[in-house]
Amino acid sequence: MSFNETAATKTYHEGREVVLSAPSWVAAQRALDLIRAGLTVIRSEPMPFDADEQLIAWNEEEPEVKDREAFDAQRTHGLRINSVPMACLLAARASTRREWHYAVIKYRFSVRLYGAFVVDLDPFRSRRHLQLSRFAEDHVTFAHAILAAYSAIEDLGLELRASRGTPSRINNGREWNPVVKKELEDRLSAAGVALTEPVLWTIRGSGTTVHKRRPVPVISPARWAGGLMVRDSHVALVDAIAQADWFRDKIAAHGVQRLTPSLSPYDVVNVQHVARRLIMEALGLWRRWQGASRRQPRAGRPRHSS
């Protein structure tokens, strides 16, 4: 499925109605699904319940895709969110390559498995930190949310590539293998990703077993960080990708791991944030989204964006 990036989608509009024109209901629904997934990427959090369900393409000549009463009840359901125009632009670009299309869908799938709302990540507005869970079902959910988010990175072709013969770390894991690091940086640069712009890594509390096992290399603390409980930091993009790869390989995949119960909601959010950043960079929308986001005044902690 691919739909054109028209003059309307090249310009960012707010307060406009979006109309889908497609040769069939299937094509229209596929486009709508991709736009809805694009909204999740843009918003970086789960969609509101009433906006995440029952969005179906419709016109007067629609075939009976479900019972008529249910169809009539749902066809008037709309989505009124300021990010829709940019989500349309993201979907238009993602639709041009199958890998991009699936990366966006996988990101949404990850966030639907588990996603934290921006307000819950804001130390100025959230009343408590997101805690470790003692329930196996949550551990499985966290692990598979990480797997889906990292799979989106793989679909972009921007994952860490190493092997037993060419490991990513040398000197007992204390430093990068320069060969692996350069190969990753070359692929990121070729995809239009800004290597010099760090990633925001959310770090809360004294540190779990996971964090003690492999601390993330920090460039600098975030400007709102302070004390033991809020240690959010800026991390180099290649280090963030490597950390996401470690979460995927050593904790989330290959059956239950010893460290799996130590996965926190923040670990999931951080891997999702890396995937989101790379999706938007690969589609050429990261700078545009940052510009639009900065034009909207917000108090307190900025959205999970840098």
When mean pLDDT is compared across 20-29, 88-97, 191-200, the lowest value belongs to: 20-29
Specify the pLDDT at position 83: 80
pLDDT tens column, 258-276 = 888 889 999 999 999 999 9
Specify the pLDDT at position 198: 96
In whole angstroms, what is the distance from residue 118 CA to residue 111 CA? 12
In whole angstroms, what is the distance from residue 33 CA to residue 235 CA? 33
Specify the pLDDT at position 232: 93
Using CA of residue 127, residue 132, residue 134, residue 140, what is the dihedral sign? positive
In whole angstroms, what is the distance from residue 220 CA to residue 294 CA? 22
* Whether the Cβ atoms of residue 217 and residue 234 lie closer than 8 Å to each other: no
DSSP 253: S
Q: Is the pLDDT of residue 299 over 50?
A: no
Specify the pLDDT at position 124: 80
* Whether the Cβ atoms of residue 68 and residue 125 lie closer than 8 Å to each other: no
* Whether the Cβ atoms of residue 274 and residue 15 lie closer than 8 Å to each other: no
In whole angstroms, what is the distance from residue 293 CA to residue 83 CA? 10
pTM (2 d.p.): 0.85
Summarize the confidence of residues 155-159 as an average pLDDT. 98
Summarize the confidence of residues 130-154 as an average pLDDT. 94
The Cβ of residue 77 has, within 10 Å, a number of other Cβ atoms equal to: 13
Q: Is the pLDDT of residue 8 over 50?
A: no
Q: Would you call 278 exposed, middle or buried from its count of C-beta atoms within 10 A (0-12, 13-18, 19+)?
A: buried
Segments of the chain assigned E as strands: 169-170, 175-176, 199-201, 220-221, 233-235
Which is more confidently placed, 17 or 269?
A: 269
What residues does 233 pair with on adjacent strands?
A: 201, 221
- Residue identified by tokens 């679909």 is 155
